[in-house]
Amino acid sequence: MATDGSARRVLSVAMSISAMLDLTGTTVFRLVRPVLPDPPPPGSRPDPFRAATDMIMAAHREVVVHPPDESGVTIPE
């Protein structure tokens, strides 16, 4: 039967692991930050949602333009 003590131990171990990983990630980020390139200006990047939508629409047009063959499978030319 589980007790409150065992739950506290599990939580303690989980919090310890997350704290170590957080400190490690912070340390690595601080070490490599001077080497990383500067981010581009906010307005220079294309909208990721727009790029994904354009790709989906292009694929849709490609499939719709080509009629299905005898088996019902659409094969692009």
Q: Which amino acid is at 24?
A: T
CA gap 67, 75 in Å, rounded = 8
* Pair 20, 14: CB distance under 8 Å: no
Model pTM score = 0.35
- Over its length of 77 residues, how does the chain's per-residue pLDDT go in tens digits? 556 667 788 888 888 888 888 888 888 888 888 887 787 787 777 788 888 899 999 888 777 766 666 676 655 55
Segment holding 29, helix H or strand E = helix 4-32
SS3 67: coil
